[in-house]
Chain A
Amino acid sequence: MFSLLYWVWIILGGILIGAGVHFIPVGGAPAAMSQATGVGTGTTMLAAASGLTGLIGAGSAYAATGGDFGYTIVMGGISAALMISILAFIANVMYVYGAGVPLASAKVKYDPISKWRQDLYVSRGTEGHGTPMSSFISGIIGAFLAGVGGALVYFALAASYAGIPGFGATFAGYPAPYYVSLAAAFAIGIFFLNCVMASYNIGGTIEGFHDPKFRRLPKSILASLVVSAVGGLFALLIVVMLPGGI
């Protein structure tokens, strides 16, 4: 059934995805040369890698509990946070033992969380390397938000589509019902809409909540709000258009 509450959840989910991207420490291409602090991948895809892993967790949780709201949302968030904590830790092992550099950031003199001195540990001609404490924590927060956002979108869509007559069927003996497939595909689409918008706002690299670029967050929230409102409305209107199912 169509419900305005589900639309609000999709919009809120979109905003959380966009906000989460700003928390995730992204070094982009320079990070692979130990030239920038953060994890070495593009903003969009790193957020997608963790957030969509969260979506898998949310999907399993939704199916296991038959649509328990709180559990689905939290599982989405924690699965994404788990993914990025492993990813950033293993990348740090690579920096320390493979490249032989200490973990440091050039944007701040003292790390806001560990209070450790940063600038002396930055090698010449670089802007830091690895994912130090604050960026690491920031990344976990960001992935949690993005995962919760993705799970909110998935939950709203799955709960809406599950009521359409005929959407409980499955394809050729495979276990996935129609509504799960459609909700998962749209959740991926809306996830990309929001995280690409956020990555345009960041424009390259960001270290986490202590980075000056983090102050651009309000613009991204507005953009995410509008984009996911339109995308979410389109996705939910399908429910209105199919009163008799298929």
Chain B
Amino acid sequence: MDPQMMVELGALTLVGAAALIAGVAEDLESDVGSQSNPNSQVQLAPQMGYLHRLYNKAISGEPASYPFYAAIGASTALAVLSITGNSSLIGVFFALVAGAFVTSLIHGVYATTSYMGRLASQSRFGQPIYMDVLRTHTPVLMAHGFVANFSVLLLTWVIIAQHFSPFPFVVLAFIWGIALGGVGSAVGDVHLGTDRYYQDRPYGSGVNAAHSGSVVRKAESGLRNSIDCAWFCSKFGGPLTGLGFGLVVYLHFWKEVVVTGWWSVLAGVIIVVIFIIMNTYLERYSRQRYGTYKAEAEE
């Protein structure tokens, strides 16, 4: 193995690790805010007569809001680097921290506007705005968002510094933001939407469309809040999202670093085929293990 490839594989490991952390933090952040898909249930609940104390953060979907944060963070980092210069490692590190910090402030502001805006637009259903929900949840959102954004900026910076991609810093951060949001809303949200919001319903089936909006509003003690949801989802939804985004970023560059030229294409095809086979086994396992919902004769 030549030394150049060892350095590149080391950088790639760092990229993958940063992506994993970004995925976990992103999913937990969206669970605290009820962003993206499960937001439809929180939005529907007052209309169905279920008033709640959950957060309602509709900064559009995650795949649109994460590129937004990433682009702000990357621009701020570039602005800081234009003063300090990008030669020293510690300077770059602080520039990325500054980028993630400014982003988390703007994120917090946007989050409060969507909580207040959406609930004020539901006044006919009698849904009150709780200022303590706003005060306690927003810093948690900002903190998770900070971790996620810093990780995205870090992995983008390593990619640029290692010349894995010719795109400018901001453009690359933007695209990874979309990918991160896509993974977060496809994977992590299922745990929140199917399981946590409907914990009083029987486990092991989809949520009946007739029950839409009847989210769980009472907790083990007192009323359910969205920080409880992040606690719950941190057990499975968050880590799995992290694994997903980590694999996306790691395998994307792995196939280009370890082999080159048309062999990369072949490596990509092989990985895709492996995932198809794994998915087939998973599907068959789920059907055999869980069985059918209705008997054949009932049709």
Contact = CB atoms under 8 A, between A and B. Distances in A.
Interface of B: 36-41, 61-64, 82, 86, 160, 163-169, 171-172, 174-175, 178-179, 181-183, 185-195, 197-198, 203-212, 236-237, 240-241, 243-244, 247-248, 251-252, 255-256, 260-262, 264-265, 268-269, 271-272, 275-276, 278-280, 282-283, 285-287, 290, 292-296, 299
B175 A175 contact: no
Contact of A184 (B171, B179, B190, B212): B171
Contacts of A39: 186
Contact of A57 (B186, B206, B252, B275): B252
B168 A101 contact: no
Given A45-B64, A103-B283, A75 B264 contact: yes
Contacts of B40: 29-30
A124 B190 contact: no
Given A45-B178, A53-B248, A90-B244, 18 more contacts: A29-B37, A32-B189, A32-B192, A34-B193, A35-B212, A53-B175, A71-B262, A86-B275, A87-B187, A98-B194, A101-B205, A103-B287, A114-B283, A124-B208, A125-B211, A140-B276, A174-B168, A185-B171
A200 B272 CA distance: 29
Interface of A: 28-35, 39-42, 45-46, 48-50, 52-53, 55-57, 59-60, 62-64, 71, 74-75, 78-79, 81-83, 85-103, 114, 116, 119-126, 128-133, 136-137, 140, 171-177, 180-181, 184-185, 188
13 contacts: A32-B194, A33-B37, A45-B185, A53-B252, A63-B166, A85-B275, A90-B186, A94-B187, A99-B195, A103-B283, A123-B205, A130-B283, A136-B279
Interface centre among A40, A177, A180 (most CB of B within 10 A): A40
B76 to A, nearest CB: 16
Contact of B190 (A57, A81, A94, A123): A94
Contacts of A53: 175, 179, 248, 252
A55 B175 contact: yes
A129 B193 CA distance: 13
A86 B205 CA distance: 24
Contact of B283 (A74, A133, A180): A133
Contacts of A101: 194, 204-206, 286, 290
